[in-house]
Each structure stands twice: as C-alpha cells, then as structure tokens.
Chains A and B, each alone.
Chain A
C-alpha cells in the first residue's frame, strides 16, 4: 500500500490522493446502496408480475439476481473503506474529539462493527442465495439480505456525516 501511495504522490498531492480514494469509496458505496435497497424491496415486497409502474417492476425482479454484484461490491468497498480509515484515525477523528463531536465518533465506531458483521455474513449470504433456492431457508435468506441492507445504509449515512466534518467538499 505504501509503495502504491509513494508512486502516486510523485504525480498528485497527498491531500488529493486521499480525497480521490474517499470519493471512489463513496461512489462504490452509492452503487452498493442501490443494489441492497433494490434487493430488500424485492425480498420484502415481492410482486409476481413485472407489469405496472417502476416500483412494481422493481418488486418483480428476482432478488437472487442482485447477490453476485452485492458480494463483489461489498468486499472492495469494505477494503477501500479500511484503507481510508487509516487517514480518518489521524486526520479526522483527532479534530472531531478536540471539537467534542462525541456522537459522530461513537456512531463511526459502531460503523466499524456493523460492516465487520456484514462481511462475516457474506459467505453465508452467498451460500443461501445460490440456485436452487431452498424453501426451508427462505427466512434466513431474507434476514441476511435485510441485515446487509441495514449495514450498508448505516455505514453510508454515518460515513457521510464524518465526510461532512472533514472530507471531500467539506
């Protein structure tokens, strides 16, 4: 990682490098957010026919079709977030504590835990959503999809608040 950043720093400033990483993390998180939300809608409010308005068509999409993109997006988003987290610890969290933004620090600490639980559940999520879907495991399949959606939504919102404190465009 250090070798990559040293090479890049020959061409762009340190500040621009970290901001670019943070922005990439944000873009991936938005895509992931869209996927987990669409899957949750399809899981919790399934519709048999695709006819009708946009919402009905989203509800009728097979929830299993979102699984592979979610898994392949969750892992790099997590890893990129872990990399950006290094900068957060020194560049963002210390001033946050100095200004007494304890709620933001606390909610961000919880983000660490919830995304970790999400990545731990990813192999089981993938397993239960494999075809053919077993009727017996419908409940756990639904739970795993909803939990991943909650973890991504929580991480996105809290990450956004932290970014507003000191990040891209703040």
Chain B
C-alpha cells in the first residue's frame, strides 16, 4: 500500500514537471542568441546597405582593383561590383551586434530587436508614403520628403511599439523575426529591381 502511494506520488510529480516544461519557453543559450541575432541583423543591414549603396569596398573585376567604400565606374576599368562590399559590411556589423547581444539581459534584447526592426521597416515606408503624398497634393508639401522628419516619426513609432509591447509579445516575436525580416527584406530588394522587369 505504501509502495503504491509512493509510485502514485512519483508519477504525479513527473506529470507536473512535464507540464511545467511544456508551458515554459525553451531556454535559448548564448550561442543561440548569437545565431538568431546574427541572422536578423545581417539581413536588416544587408537590405539597408544595398538600398543606400554603402559597400565597405568596391571591386573592379576587369582590372582586379579594390577601392575603399563606394566608387562609381571609371573609364577603362569595367563595371564595379558592390555585392562583396555589402556582404563584408553587413557581416562585420552583424558579428559586432550579435556579440553585444549575448551580453544583454534578455528583456532588453527582445525590446531592442523590436525597436531596430520596426525602425528599419517604418523609416523607408514613411519616406515612400511621404513622397507619394507630396507628389499628389495641390499645396507645396516637399517638406514631407525630409529624411529627418520621417526619421523622427519612425523613431517615435519604433520607440512606442517596443516600449508598449508586452513582455510576452516581444519575447514571442523575437524568433519570428527570422522569417519576417527575410520576407520583408526580399520584398524591398525585389521591388528595387523592378526596372529590369518593366523595360
């Protein structure tokens, strides 16, 4: 009888422990934080650097010449290549940000990721919307196209979303950035290639 009770207690304890494990979020190690942050940061930076054309260096394959930062094509030197420069700059940036991310408290990391990703999406979206509006209204609305004005609004929006988002929401969203960022990034990068498809 005593043995039967002990077994029953053990099984109950085991079930409780399993239920706790199932409901608790799986712990992500430091290497996991690095890997996830690296993926998100690299993709955001790559999209931004490609759009702004900020390569770390420019390679001229016809003459085998390397220039620091962005250099336009020069006569007799063939076409310049920026892709390697975007990769290098994004890679360095992503390694630096991911290394810092492993040192941050998780709650901060989740909110900072929301802040950066929302800012990266909101700023160009507001710029595009401002340009669309300014070109269509009857009065002079050129001021709307200001990078700083849209930047300030985007900054405020990103700060509001990351500050007011609940702790559970920013935590659940963190891993999901791994699919939100490539989808958004590829949409932006694909749209910027439209000139090739509309000729």
Contacts and interface: CB of A to CB of B under 8 A. Distances in A.
Contact of A102 (B26, B32, B62, B196): B196
Interface residues of B, number: 39
A93 to B, nearest CB: 8
A55 interface: no
B151 to A, nearest CB: 25
Contact of B175 (A85, A105, A109, A140): A140
Contact of A120 (B42, B79, B176): B42
Given A113-B186, A127-B35, A85 B83 contact: yes
B176 A140 contact: yes
Interface stretch (B2-10, B99-107, B115-123, B177-185): B177-185
Contact of A127 (B22, B36, B196): B36
B197 interface: yes
Interface residues of A, number: 35
Given A106-B193, A110-B186, A127-B31, 20 more contacts: A2-B64, A85-B81, A86-B81, A89-B61, A90-B78, A102-B197, A102-B199, A105-B196, A106-B197, A113-B50, A113-B185, A120-B90, A121-B43, A123-B34, A123-B38, A123-B39, A127-B35, A134-B26, A135-B22, A135-B26
Interface of A: 2, 82, 85-87, 89-90, 93-94, 100, 102-103, 105-106, 109-110, 112-114, 116-117, 120-121, 123-124, 126-127, 134-137, 140, 143-144, 147
